[in-house]
Amino acid sequence: MLVLSRKSGQRLRISDNIEVTVISIQGGRVQFGINAPAEVSIHRAEVQQRIEQQRIEQQRTAQQRHPEPAPALSSAAPSPLATEGAATCP
């Protein structure tokens, strides 16, 4: 983990397209401003955890509603293991 010290009004860059600005520092509370492209999602850690839990629950629900079908048994040619060692008639 990279640890940086910044004062109010100072900025830091993440890659070429994300900029974080320290807006204010009051007691133990820091306010940040984040400039990033719209396709970059930015969430507090506890919100991101809730989003991930909801996604997992939705996947479970979808799997329960639409379980994957079992593979079909083929009645084509018998397995080579099934005929291995069997006597052959001329």
Tell me: pLDDT of 77 over 70.
no
Q: Tell me if 8 sits within 8 A of 24, measured CB to CB.
A: yes
> Is residue 56 a contact partner of residue 62, using CB atoms and an 8 Å limit?
no
Binning pLDDT at 50, 70 and 90, where does residue 61 land? confident
- In the predicted model, what is the mean pLDDT of residues 34-60? 94
What mean pLDDT do residues 25-39 have? Answer: 94
Residue 36 contacts residue 42 (beta carbons within 8 Å): yes
> What are the residue ranges spanned by the domains of the chain?
7-37
